[in-house]
Structure 1
Amino acid sequence: MSAENTTLKCTPYWWEAAPVSPVPEVPLEKRVDVAIIGAGYAGLTAGLTLARAGRSVAIYDKQHPGEGASSRNGGITSGNIRLDHATLVKKFGQERADAITLEGKDARQHLYDMITAEGIDCDFAQVGRFGGALGTEDYERMARHAEHLERNLGIESYAVPQAEQHKYIGTDFFRGGSVRMDIGGLHPAKFIAELLRVAQAAGVVVHSDTAVEGIDQEASGFTVRTARGQVQAQQVLICTNGYTDGATPWLRRRIVPVRSRIIATEPLPPELMDKLMPRRMMLNDTRTLGFYFRPSPDGTRILFGGRDGTSLEDPTKPVAYLRRNLLDLFPELEPFAISHTWYGKVAMHRDMIPRIFEKKGMLYATGFCGSGVVWAPWIGRKAAQKILGNTNEAPSAFDFQPPAAIPFYNGKPWFMPFFMMKYRMDDRAKMRRAGR
């Protein structure tokens, strides 16, 4: 076989089985209890929670439901927090840092329970995740963290020395790693389609291809101005994340959209998949600009993703970059072509913690920092509970002050090439220290 592929598809592999599509158009409501901006994981989960509590809910999205990151991501239920625990303590204090760590376990379990309880067919499998260490320093840190998860949180997690890593991944690239078994994989486009189905069945009205152009606060609530007309709402919940636009300029100064790109191989021989991914786990590594990768749900392909620091529409360079790093791990893939490539926008911000916050009477649930498969449904649900105000559950540890604005930034991340260059230099230095 040749690695050349003249029929490279630049649409998500996930859309082959679950294409995104608009919902049938219905007239706009004159008034609703809660207007939600954004029909992704967070918005739909919030709408479902509110509708089942008796609120009238309408969701507005400028694209098709889930057309953004919700149907484009890697489908790994990682629930990562970008900051390590020591940094969390330094920034937010010991109490909140501990609460954030503990809530991650609840968030992940909530996702799994929802998939089961709602009968959501999304190819979910709790197969665990192997994280590969670049060097011995990373390995020792990962081993300590695995011990902490097992001892203090009751999460099955353990270190994997280099001599045993071939049981988990067919490469000599890493110097060992660690496993945590509370992580799995799902089909993100199937998940958002099923979540839409469940939300609509509960009475949530979803308006696709209906851009919100502005929101005005009034004495009786809010006027939501859309491309199709105005709606009065008692409360507004904004869940736009990486696709935040000029409709909410205050939020746009705080949220940085960053491209995350994925490539998918053509179908691979079963014996090769058995060698490279013997346990069909989710996988990642310890680079600053790390990569995440996994088998496709049917076990026939490898999907490999990472940050795309370009603003190019031509995918040639970013695809070549990802493929080169994929081959560093698995040289056996050299003869096989890449069948699909696509990107979605994740939402980064200065604090790097998913967040619920209020501003001028509006509630926000956003800033998932590339781990929205777990955090978006959880933060959306917690935001809905805050609106309801009658829950017996404890407040979320992620409900506090909004992230700070970014100086000289108004939606166009002009500074990203500089950060990407710095992070790549840091990773090269780490590789050198690891003897690469």
Structure 2
Amino acid sequence: MQQPKVADKNTPYWWEAAPVKPLPRQPLANRLDVAIVGAGYAGLSAGLVLAREGRSVAAFDAMNPGEGASSRNGGITSGSIRPDYAAITRRFGEEKAKAIEVEGKIAREFLYNFIETEKLDCDFQLVGRFTGALGYDQYEKMARGAEVLAKRLGIESYAVPYAEQRDYIGTDFYRGGVIRMDIGGLHPAKFHAELLRVALASGLTVHSSTPVTSIERDGSGFRVATSAGTVQARQVLVCTNGYTDGASPFLRRRLVPVRSRIIATEEVAPEVMARLMPKLMMMGEGRELGFYYRPSPDGRRILLGGRDSSRVGDPVAPTLRLRNGLVEIFPELEKVRLSHSWFGNVAMHRDMIPRIFEKNGVVYATGFCGSGVVWAPWVGMRAAHKLMGHGGQARTPFDFRPPAAIPLYRGNPWFLPAIIQGYRLQDRIAWWRASR
């Protein structure tokens, strides 16, 4: 039985203005200084740095460059870390927690400066982000956190009480929220296309639709087998994240690909957009399985994303869940049509902190946990400096041991339904407490 059509297209809205496409075939070098696996944000950023330092470097992508998460994400420059400050302190110590918090500010500022200095045409706007609270208890906790963030890092961050909420978002769904003005939005597919442009111009070779099939030690270097042939590389950097396959079995046992889905509305009347998103900010909320949403760069549509619990195919139910969430927040959009609904993989792991690590001589830059717009370029570039032995420029609190392997996991995330159900239960409990 054919499923009912919920959205006009099942391809990313971002591909309308910046379609992903194959690159012209390039001859395979016999030898390289560095072979990079993956040509998303992290791989291209690393390749750019290495090429500008005169290294012979090529990136190999199993798909079209950027076809994975780099052109499918929400384009919000959050740089979020999943565990909060207290959780990181308990697990890794206060020094690591402080360093990671500071790194977020540095990485966001670096990204914004990089976009400006490289003249990347990617619709970037530093508009700030509003995060809605489910109830007054959550609001009070968020407000205290915003105050601490402002004092500790000097970030413009402040609470918005319920009485002032409609100055920022046209809904009564939340009970206030917080603002961070160091977060903005960009067009992710344009950002990747521009990053690819400057990387190619700097001397990086990119092989599209050329999966790496194995990486083996060969004397002092590596033998990298690809679908186009084999290349000898002095060093190897793996940047595959949510699309890691059997070519990197060590990494695959540590990263869980989780679907994230985004819907885009048809164009909304200007007066409606002015009511719903008066400041055209990026948006989020405090639920475990909550939504992130934003206006399109031209301010004419609303894009909303969240977890997709499906594992195969492209079922209708996840799109309906997001549509229902959109209407829950903005009831006046009940009759709005969806132009696009699509999904992509994010990579989760047991630590939930982005990571650079080395195993058997191979360097990995990965584990962005849904915040790769900021972290993938930053971590990719730090990894490049690590490969070149640049101590100061390579230094980052994300360079430490590999994430722990997940027991009984070899690439099939059989345990995801139970985890998602647990998050749903937490959200129901939080909602019950908020509504008492």
TM-score range, shorter chain: over 0.9
Percent identity between matched residues is 64
CA contact 1:290–1:306 (8 Å) conserved in 2: yes
Q: In structure 2, what is the Cα distance between the partners aligned to 1:331 and 1:6?
A: 18
CA contact 1:58–1:205 (8 Å) conserved in 2: yes
CA separation of 1:233 and 1:94: change in aligned 2, threshold 3 A: same
Specify the SS of the correspondent of 2:185.
coil
CA shift, 1:390, in A, is 2.6
Q: In structure 2, what is the Cα distance between the partners aligned to 1:303 and 1:378?
A: 25
CA shift, 1:159, in A, is 0.3
Q: In structure 2, what is the Cα distance between the partners aligned to 1:312 and 1:32?
A: 37
Q: In structure 2, what is the Cα distance between the partners aligned to 1:312 and 1:257?
A: 12
What does 1:204-219 correspond to in 2, within 5 Å?
204-219=204-219
Q: In structure 2, what is the Cα distance between the partners aligned to 1:394 and 1:26?
A: 30
Pair 1:176 & 2:162 matched: no
Q: In structure 1, what is the Cα distance between the partners aligned to 2:27 and 2:220?
A: 23
Q: Which residue of 1 aligns with 2:77?
A: 77
**RMSD across aligned positions (CA):** 1.1
Q: Which residue of 1 aligns with 2:22?
A: 22
Q: Which residue of 2 aligns with 1:160?
A: 160
CA contact 2:165–2:177 (8 Å) conserved in 1: yes
What TM-score does the superposition give when structure 2 sets the normalisation length? 0.98
Specify the SS of the correspondent of 1:347.
strand
Aligned positions, number: 433
Q: Which residue of 2 aligns with 1:121?
A: 121
Q: In structure 2, what is the Cα distance between the partners aligned to 1:374 and 1:184?
A: 11
Q: Which residue of 2 aligns with 1:188?
A: 188
CA contact 2:355–2:366 (8 Å) conserved in 1: yes
CA separation of 1:6 and 1:423: change in aligned 2, threshold 3 A: closer
Q: In structure 1, what is the Cα distance between the partners aligned to 2:86 and 2:359?
A: 29
Q: Which residue of 1 aligns with 2:47?
A: 47
Deviations 1:131-188 (A, max 9, x none): 0000112111111111111111010000000000101100000000000000000000
Deviations 1:172-230 (A, max 9, x none): 00000000000000000000000000000000000000000000012120000001100
Q: In structure 2, what is the Cα distance between the partners aligned to 1:287 and 1:190?
A: 30
The one-letter amino acid paired with 2:327 is L
Q: In structure 2, what is the Cα distance between the partners aligned to 1:340 and 1:247?
A: 32
Deviations 1:407-428 (A, max 9, x none): 0000010110111111011101
The farther-off stretch of 362-371 and 311-320 is 311-320
The farther-off stretch of 251-260 and 137-146 is 137-146
Show structure 2 runs of 5+ residues with no match. Answer: none
Q: Which residue of 1 aligns with 2:231?
A: 231
Deviations 1:74-124 (A, max 9, x none): 000000000011110011111111101100101111111110011100000
CA contact 1:5–1:339 (8 Å) conserved in 2: no
Specify the SS of the correspondent of 1:8.
strand
The one-letter amino acid paired with 2:175 is R
The one-letter amino acid paired with 2:197 is R
CA contact 2:384–2:394 (8 Å) conserved in 1: no
CA contact 2:37–2:238 (8 Å) conserved in 1: yes
Q: Which residue of 1 aligns with 2:243?
A: 243
Show structure 1 runs of 5+ residues with no match. Answer: none
Deviations 1:274-329 (A, max 9, x none): 00000000000000112100000000000000000112423310111111111100
Pair 1:138 & 2:107 matched: no
Q: Which residue of 2 aligns with 1:425?
A: 425
Where does structure 1 differ by over 4 angstroms across 4 or more consecutive aligned residues? Answer: 4-7
Specify the SS of the correspondent of 1:209.
coil
Q: In structure 2, what is the Cα distance between the partners aligned to 1:7 and 1:432?
A: 32
CA contact 1:5–1:337 (8 Å) conserved in 2: no
Deviations 1:237-256 (A, max 9, x none): 00000000000011100000
Specify the SS of the correspondent of 2:294.
strand
The farther-off stretch of 239-248 and 137-146 is 137-146
CA contact 2:6–2:320 (8 Å) conserved in 1: no
The one-letter amino acid paired with 1:262 is I
Q: In structure 2, what is the Cα distance between the partners aligned to 1:238 and 1:349?
A: 16
Q: In structure 1, what is the Cα distance between the partners aligned to 2:33 and 2:299?
A: 44
Pair 1:93 & 2:101 matched: no
